[in-house]
Amino acid sequence: MQATTSKEIVVLDKESVTLPQGFKAGGVHCGIKRKRMDLGYIVSDVPAAVAGVYTTNLFQAAPLLVTQESIAKENKIQAIIVNSGNANACTGEQGIKDAYEMQKEFACQLGIQEHLVAVTSTGVIGELLPMDKVKAGIQQILASENENETLFKEAILTTDTCTKQIAVQVKIDGKTISIGGAAKGSGMIHPNMATMLGFVTTDANIAHEDLLAALKDVTNKTFNMITVDGDTSTNDMVLVMANGLAGNDQLTSNHPDWDIFKTGLQIVCEALAKDIARDGEGATKLVEVQVNGANSFEDARAVGKAIISSNLVKTAIYGTDPNWGRIVTAIGYSGIKLNPSNIKVGLGPYNVFENGLPCPIVEDEVKEYLELDTIKITVELNQGDQSATAWGCDLTYDYVKINASYRT
């Protein structure tokens, strides 16, 4: 499927990280998991400018520490090696050594400097990596039969039920610039830059400082606006690689096409974020909360996050219960100043609360709306002109089942 969002931007929802020029990706089963793919890679033909955002959890896993240290050397990487099934978190000095060993082994296979390899891991916390299996996998991962972006997308998954990908193409300096993304995330998802692995590639020529600023701003509006279960993970990050092979004049925030590039990046990150929320463990519905009329983006964001994080709201959505009282309660404890008499709340096309009072509804009609697989909650604060959107999912019996038996 292909959809054009504007004259300058084309969205390609079946493409991914290898659409931009000069990138390849692949994966292999090395034995961390019993059967499924568990070791993946992305490689650029040339060193690429890189920007990253990382989990705010103070227990940062070994791969994050190694990757951040490596990127700091020259703000470039050329490759990413990622394993699933084992987080290499809370593993002490041995975990750090193992992350360095993964980096060294893959750099050796590619014939590049070690600091040009980023290392990422996801999975069970507190267990050492089976390094004999990991190293054997790295030694075979670049074989031609293992080069396929679908294999990469499968190799990064844990409890996800599907792969997550998107790409866009934009016109800059008369040249076609591609931005591709893939992600994993299903549980331990909470909007605080965490709980996911996100990989974005682009062939744009862009300055590191501007790429980092764009990623941080876009992350606050996308990945930081999703939640599944309120838990912030130890491991996760979003990395953007820009290798410059499209040949455009270097992009900075002063470039006349800067907004086009940033919009393309936001489209990619928002699509991946929504896919993560939709694929929440045990989820049956994507829930979108649109907050309008706030005094600031931060206020709108706080209200959206409060609603989407509420277990009572999430269970009501699962049970198709139009219990607007739970939504109003979440607005009330969001921490912002507001006038309850000014608040308006909608469930899809139905107004359920306004001017401090419930609206008359036909409950069966609202319940029928709540049977859909995408539910929209709208909040009008009537205080200012700022808005924010948050995404999450319902909370089901299956979420408990999945997480009660995660390690078994």
Length of the chain: 408
- Report the sign of the C-alpha dihedral through residues 157, 162, 163, 167, in that order: negative
Q: Side chain identity at 193, as an amino acid letter?
A: M
Integer Rg of the chain from CA: 22
Three-state DSSP class for 348? coil
**Residues 115, 117, 118: CA angle, nearest 5 degrees:** 105
End-to-end CA distance of the chain, in Å?
38
The whole-angstrom distance between residue 338's C-alpha and the CA centroid of its chain comes to 31
Do residues 264 and 181 lie in contact, with contact meaning Cβ atoms separated by under 8 Å? no
Q: Which residues pair with 76 in a beta bridge?
A: 49
How many CA atoms, within 13 angstroms, populate the side-chain half-sphere of residue 377?
Answer: 36
Q: Which of 343, 352, 269, 268 is nearest to 299 (CA)?
A: 343
Element (H, E) at 166: strand 164-172
Q: How many CA atoms lie within 13 A of 8 on its CB side?
A: 14
Catalytic residue list: 195
Q: Tell me if 208 sits within 8 A of 52, measured CB to CB.
A: no
Provide the 10 A C-beta neighbour count for residue 9. Answer: 18
| Burial environment of residue 127 by CB neighbours within 10 A (0 to 12, 13 to 18, 19 or more) | middle
Q: 295, 379 in Cβ contact below 8 A? A: no
Q: DSSP letter string over 178-208?
A: EEEEEEE-SSS--SSS-S-EEEEEE---B-H
